[in-house]
């Protein structure tokens, strides 16, 4: 077997007895009646018979389109992102696009470098899930005129976004805890440089007020990681008697579990805990984690559809998308203990 030598549009044209340009047109589904039905049929048949697949490189050079979307996530190792990527990948591929995925490791500088690499690859658009509140690289990208959709995290820039309505689920979580008899709820929040941190904290305060509960202590985890969550939760527990905690996300909740263990606090008997995300392993934690579920895959899919629309026509007025969240009640929440919980 010699080198196969990939088929070109010329081969198809020859087989169908037409000019290459005609063959190209016949294979373009966007051209409605521009080619006679008979010719189209002949070309399509020939292409199928030969197994012709268009060469994306030649096409790109000509059309200035790469059918490629750059995707920036902050941390591949955070279980929140794989489902998001799954949604993005599937939806993009359904529209004939490929994703170039890059993980910034929560490093603003690296984000800039990766964006340069992706720009070098001539992506048609970008999905940015790594934005921080002040994010020069993303601002620059948007100002440069590239189609951009922000996912999950916002930054002060005029780009459409796909986010989850965290307030909805957080309200449900607070009401759930109140109904269980908790009178004070603490919050282990995340780093302030990320927009969702503020969104969630604000939603938490509003929900507590609406539920006529007394606002509990709020401590800040330096990162959305289990280690940072454990540390923050530890200071919380050592400082105040707490019966209920809303964690900034599920990874922080994982850290809270560890902090409980170290202090001999039983969850949910002594303290109830609610996370945010419903990451893949949340239901397998012990106790299984009650959490505000974010539709991670749908978030990704919606963002992908948006960027494809925007690439097709950058002038489109696409609306911001906000997907509802729901409270998933599992084993980490229980009625408030009668006696005071063990305190330092």
Partner DNA sequence: TTGAAAGCGCTAACAA
Partner DNA sequence: TTGTTAGCGCTTTCAA
Beta bridge partners of 149: 127
Least separation in angstroms between residue 150's CB and its own copies is: 21
Q: Which of 10, 121, 202, 269 binds DNA (CB under 7 A)?
A: 10
Output 331 or 337, the one with its CB closest to its own copies. Answer: 331
Nearest-angstrom CA–CA distance, 216 and 195: 22
Q: Which two tokens stand for residue 183?
A: 């009178």
Please name which of 209, 223, 75, 69 lies closest in space to residue 149, comparing C-alpha atoms.
69
21 binds DNA (CB under 7 A): yes
Q: In the chain, where does DSSP find H-type helix?
A: 9-16, 20-27, 37-50, 56-63, 81-94, 108-120, 136-143, 166-179, 195-210, 226-239, 250-262, 296-312
Q: Which two tokens stand for residue 156?
A: 């002060």
Q: Hey, which residues between 271 and 290 contact its own copies (CB under 8 A)? A: 280-281, 284-286
Q: How many residues does the chain have?
A: 344
Angle at alpha carbon of residue 13, lines to 24 and 32, rounded to 5°: 35
Q: Which of 15, 29, 35, 130 binds DNA (CB under 7 A)?
A: 35
Q: Which of 72, 254, 273, 303 binds its own copies (CB under 8 A)?
A: 254
Name the segment binding its own copies (CB under 8 A); options: 99-107, 175-183, 241-249, 321-329: 99-107
Q: Which of 15, 99, 293, 306 binds its own copies (CB under 8 A)?
A: 99
61 binds DNA (CB under 7 A): yes
Least separation in angstroms between residue 122's CB and its own copies is: 6
124 binds its own copies (CB under 8 A): no
226 contact, one of DNA, its own copies, none, CB 5-8 Å limit per kind: its own copies
Q: What residue has token string 């490093």?
A: 107
Nearest-angstrom CA–CA distance, 197 and 166: 11
261 binds its own copies (CB under 8 A): yes
Please name which of 131, 207, 140, 135 lies closest in space to residue 171, comparing C-alpha atoms.
207
Name the segment binding its own copies (CB under 8 A); options: 15-23, 40-48, 100-108, 202-210: 100-108
49 contact, one of its own copies, DNA, none, CB 5-8 Å limit per kind: none
Nearest-angstrom CA–CA distance, 319 and 303: 11
Long-range contacts of 254-259, Cβ-Cβ distance < 8 Å, separation of 24 or more: 254/226, 254/229, 254/285, 255/221, 255/225, 255/226, 255/227, 255/228, 255/229, 255/230, 255/231, 256/188, 256/229, 256/230, 257/285, 258/226, 258/230, 259/229, 259/230, 259/231, 259/233, 259/234
Name the segment binding its own copies (CB under 8 A); options: 118-126, 134-142, 163-171, 300-308: 118-126
Q: Which of 9, 13, 85, 131 binds its own copies (CB under 8 A)?
A: 85
Least separation in angstroms between residue 226's CB and its own copies is: 5
Count residues contacting its own copies (CB under 8 A)? 45
Q: Hey, which residues between 26 and 65 contact its own copies (CB under 8 A)? A: 53-58, 60-61
Output 88 or 123, the one with its CB closest to DNA. Answer: 123
283 binds DNA (CB under 7 A): no
Please name which of 269, 246, 227 lies closest in space to residue 186, comparing C-alpha atoms.
246
Output 11 or 107, the one with its CB closest to DNA. Answer: 11
Which residues form the interface with DNA (CB under 7 A)?
A: 6, 8-10, 18-22, 24-28, 33-36, 38-40, 54-55, 57-59, 61-63
Which residues form the interface with its own copies (CB under 8 A)?
A: 3-4, 53-58, 60-61, 66, 76-77, 79, 81-83, 85-86, 89, 93, 98-103, 117, 119-122, 144-145, 226, 254-255, 257-258, 261, 280-281, 284-286
């Amino acid at each position: 077997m010699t080198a196969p030598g990939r088929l070109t549009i010329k081969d198809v044209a020859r087989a169908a007895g037409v000019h290459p340009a005609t063959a190209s047109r016949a294979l373009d589904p966007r051209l409605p009646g521009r080619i006679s039905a008979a010719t189209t049929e002949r070309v399509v048949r020939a292409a199928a018979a030969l197994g012709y697949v268009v060469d994306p490189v030649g096409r790109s050079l000509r059309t200035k389109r790469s059918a490629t979307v750059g995707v920036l996530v902050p941390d591949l190792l955070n279980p929140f992102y794989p489902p998001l990527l799954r949604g993005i990948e599937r939806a993009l591929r359904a529209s004939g696009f490929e994703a170039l995925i890059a993980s910034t490791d929560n490093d603003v500088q690296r984000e800039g470098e990766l964006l340069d690499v992706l720009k070098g690859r001539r992506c048609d658009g970008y999905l940015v899930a790594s934005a921080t509140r002040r994010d020069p690289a993303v601002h620059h990208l948007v100002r440069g005129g590239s189609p951009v959709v922000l996912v999950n995290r916002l930054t002060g820039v005029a780009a459409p976004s796909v986010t989850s309505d965290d307030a909805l689920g957080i309200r449900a979580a607070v009401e759930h805890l109140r109904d269980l008899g908790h009178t004070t709820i603490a919050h282990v929040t995340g780093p302030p440089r990320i927009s969702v941190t503020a969104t969630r904290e604000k939603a938490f305060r509003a929900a507590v007020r609406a539920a006529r509960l007394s606002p509990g202590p709020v401590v800040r985890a330096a990162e959305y990681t289990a280690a940072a969550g454990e540390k923050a939760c530890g200071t919380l527990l050592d400082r105040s008697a707490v019966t209920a905690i809303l964690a900034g996300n599920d990874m922080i909740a994982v850290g809270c579990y560890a902090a409980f263990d170290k202090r001999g606090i039983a969850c949910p008997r002594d303290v109830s805990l609610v996370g945010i995300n419903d990451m893949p392993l949340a239901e397998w934690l012990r106790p299984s984690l009650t959490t505000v579920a974010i539709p991670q895959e749908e978030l990704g899919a919606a963002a992908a559809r948006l960027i494809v629309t925007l690439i097709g026509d950058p002038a489109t007025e696409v609306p911001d998308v906000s997907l509802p969240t729901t409270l998933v009640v599992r084993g980490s929440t229980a009625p408030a203990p009668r006696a005071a919980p063990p305190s330092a």
